[in-house]
Structure 1
Amino acid sequence: MSTASHQPRPGRPAAAPPASGTPEQITAIAETLVLAYGLRPAEITRIPEGTATDNYAIVDQAGRQHFGKVYRVGSNLDLELASVELSEYAADGGVATARATRTRGHELIATHGRLPMSLWSYVPHTETAEGTLTGARWPAVGEAMGRLHRRLATHPAAAPALEPGAAICDVATARDRFDRLIFAFQRKPRLGAFEAWALQAARERHAVLGDVENVLVGLPPLTVQVMHGDLAGPNVLLRNDDVAALVDFGPPTAGYLAWELMRLGCDPKSFQSHGVEKWLTGYTDLALAYRDANPSAPMADLLSSVRVGCAAMLCSAFPLSAPVDRPHLVDAALESYAQARHAAALTILEQLPALERVLRDALR
């Protein structure tokens, strides 16, 4: 099976597909399924989720279920292909993922029909990890992440290496970004409720960036390697207390393991639902299971993960910036996520020494 063995390169953009969810696009998908996959659909249903692709649930005439991703205008198909290949590389190493279905020409992305798309195995009877991490799910997610990172450490795109932990984010750049975001909000003649909240949150973030600088100073060198790239709650499918699949990989790009650990481990809605004390118990269980599944990961990555995640969340302007930069993404779900993530980051900053002490005692 072909896998990505090089860094993704700039490449051909996706051709313009029909507007998402329209009868014309449904027809184009059906034609592509027949032409590229030899699959005759009985039902094609738009799935609302998906910020970078148009996603569809597909049932063929034999009753089998599939998941289809249609790539939008401006998508870089070389990068999209590298993302699919990374998912396949993880699956070949025993990581639980959805499998891509190859076309009749043995391609991972169909590009010869009216629109570019990929087809995936359907993972039934699941829910995402967004807001649902509790009990035995914490160690299950930790084990799955450990298996994933252990496998991706062997990916030829980038060997694991130690990099300065303080480089996880640039506070000066973050300060400038928040300055510009605050100015952009202030220039608006009128602010909606979420915009007014986002402006206040941006001011609060700007005010604590000096504390973030102090947080970064204490970080040791940390592991950088190929990662999933978008390992957040919505991309982890759970069946009861087990991880059924990790989905929606990015292209093979190196990043800090400690950040990917905390990005998923501090799922904002789970944090908000259970409170800091129960969250810390769950996150500790996640970290212990991760260590067992990926014993070669340096202890510094686990011990520093809360600090890294806190700094990275506070330096990130998204999704506060969405009303200015990507207003089409703003909906009730994004607003709820933004508020939960902001509250979690500030709480962790306030209680960071105590949180790190508990995690250190558990791991040593």
Structure 2
Amino acid sequence: MTDPAGGEERRELERRAFGRDGSGLSEAEAARLAELRREDAARRDPVSETDRIPDAAEAAAPATDGAGSVADAAPAGPEALDGSAPVRRAAALPETGSAAALVPGRATPAVPTALGNAPSTPLGRLSAEVSAWLATGRWKRPRYLVGGLIALLLVGVLIGVAIPRPRDVGLALRAGEGERRDKVVEGADHDPGSVALLARSDHALLWYATQSRGDLVCAIIDVDGSPPQQNCRPRGTISERPLDVASQSEPGADGNVAGDQGVVSLSGTGAPMGYLQHWSSMMNPDPGLNPEETETWKRITSENGFRATMMAGRMSGIPVWVGYREQGDLCLVVEDGNTYKDCGQQRDVSSPSRFGTDEAPPTLVLDLPATTSHVAYRLEYWTGFSSYLVITANPDPQPTPPFGLKPAA
């Protein structure tokens, strides 16, 4: 039979523990709620007196009748199973610590106790402990709520740091720049998603890209009205010498030219950096040139597409010209009735060259045979920290390589 007072107390404790407006339970109240629930479960499955298992003292004492005489005990052997005497049914005791007597002829029944109902796995025990803690309502206290929010915030920050994302190395594109980027990407073998805008000016855009899965770094200059110009080098060489790229306009009727140059380098963390500069040049010759040399200067500049041309020296009164193209290309040109030209890539070193001790060969070399107007000459033009021209008259037919040079194989 249900105890009305106990049921009301249990419902009140459950409301305080699990209700939305509950105030939570103390440890004593939580223990009381668990006890009331066990009692309620026991009342729903009562054990009758005839089914009750005697304790150890009752099992040891003989049964007596009302007059005090010892009553005949029921057969304890197998004959008790033939129906001549009732066999007591083994039942589980609701109280913890009660002893279970053995029923003759039957297996010992399992006695569920409070310890028997406890979860056997660590996860189950943890779940039970969490449920018991939630039943107390302590999680509603401000310190627990604030602590939980801080823990969630910390987890979010750690996830944001742990998950890698591409670095934002490029400038935000403006109107029309997306179409220009598509033209740069079109037909190029750039790594997908590697093209980024590093710098812009009124005249040009400087793009950065990689190839071969990042092994090659490319600088692309995009001047409106001109095809993009590109220069790529292995990533490991960029720290030694920045990557440059240039675009030059065609010389006008007055010989004036203009152009844009971009430079790309890498930071210590590998992030690309770049800048643009615009230049224009009044392509007027050296005032020291005579009219004939001035015309020669204009013709050589126009025919070879040089960005700039200068006179590096003279041999027997004949000018020696050095012309500069885009991206470090330069040429050594001499005209003595015949045209002699050697072109190469300008070197860039970090320390001055010591005259007569360079191990690298000269950048440009011209061998001029003897004519009726001059003797044989060998012209050697070095570039690096500084540039200089060496003119050797009447060189040996098989000269010993000067300046530490080794003979060609």
Q: Same fold (TM over 0.5)?
A: no
Greater helix share, structure number: 1
TM-score, scaled relative to structure 2: 0.25
Greater strand share, structure number: 2
Which one has the largest radius of gyration? 2
Structure with bigger RCO (C-alpha 8 Å, 6+ apart): 1
